[in-house]
Structure 1
Amino acid sequence: MLLSVLSCFAGVLLGLSAFANGTSRRVRTGGIALILSGFLALLALSVYTGVTVNFFGKRFLDWRFSWSYILAWVGIILAFAAGVFQMCAYQKNATGPPAPNIADS
């Protein structure tokens, strides 16, 4: 989960610095960092869920997940969405405007 937080922080910083400088490579790298952050958080919460629900064959029937656990799942969705949107922004800027057509002039 700590790696996820660090990756998300790096993705946000790269996205903001690309917005300030207009560099498309930083946008792509930030998008990759945010998608990686979502995968790392998904891995962390999946392991946590598996360990909590079934720890060495013993089920904790009175266990309840708190608000922070639910917010972490929402954070996974938001990290994936931010990464996908940054990758879409990179694709949009990488293709650039269409070439002018000589026949239209």
Structure 2
Amino acid sequence: MYSFMGGGLFCAGMGNILLIVSTATDYWMQYRQSNNYMHQGLWRYCMPGKCFTHNDSFAHLDATRALMILSLLACFFGIIIGIMAFIHYSSFDRFDKTFAAGILFFISCFFVFLAMAVYTGVTINYYGKRYGNWRFSWSYIIGWVSMVLTFFSGIFYMCAYRMHECPRNSSSH
């Protein structure tokens, strides 16, 4: 059980770090315009030597930002509850922290998935039809990797929960 929880905490910790890096950096997409390479993230777009904040409110960027922040929060609280479960902190008697941490990691995974789906769909629809010289970049890829890590942290915590629950259920029969 503890090895599953340790693996879950490791995946969640790495996933949370990658979520922060992905959300904060400006390399979600790179493109070429007038023989200059430019890149943009969720908050800014950059030309050679200078970056600018997105002045206009783009619904897909707002949605992606919000979902990434919600994912960060869910993963962070999952880590806190997961640590409490790992060290047997029993402030709540009827509250199974292992199960709650697993659910929070799945919620985090779901929010990242939605954020990435929104960004991917709009970007491909908009840039794919108008411009030929663009590609997704490393911040975007890190977002997908963080989704996989939060998913596996949820799996690990659910496995730990099942290992913890099965002996209890079998003894009551």
TM norm structure 1: 0.83
Residue of structure 2 aligned with 1:4, choices 71, 75, 78: 71
Query: Which runs of no fewer than 5 residues in structure 1 stay unpaired?
Result: 100-105
The answer to which structure has the higher helix fraction is: 1
Alignment of 1:1-105 (within 5 A): 1-21=68-88, 25-55=96-126, 58-96=129-167, 99=171
Percent sequence identity over aligned pairs: 44
Mapped contact 1:31–1:87 kept (Cα < 8 A): yes
Distance apart, 1:59 and its partner CA: 3.5
4+ residue segments displaced more than 6 Å? none
Tell me the C-alpha RMSD between the 2 structures. 2.0
Name the SS for the 2:147 alignment partner.
helix
Contact 1:54 1:60 in 2 (8 A): no
Whether the 8 Å contact between 1:53 and 1:60 is mirrored in structure 2 is: no
Inter-partner Cα distance in structure 1 for 2:149 and 2:128: 33
Q: d(CA) in 2 for partners of 1:76 and 1:49?
A: 14
Deviation string, structure 1 residues 43-70 (Cα, Å, up to 9, x no partner): 0000001111112984432222111111
Q: TM-score, normalised by structure 2?
A: 0.52
The one-letter code of the counterpart of 1:4 is: S
Deviating more after overlay: 90-99 vs 44-53: 90-99
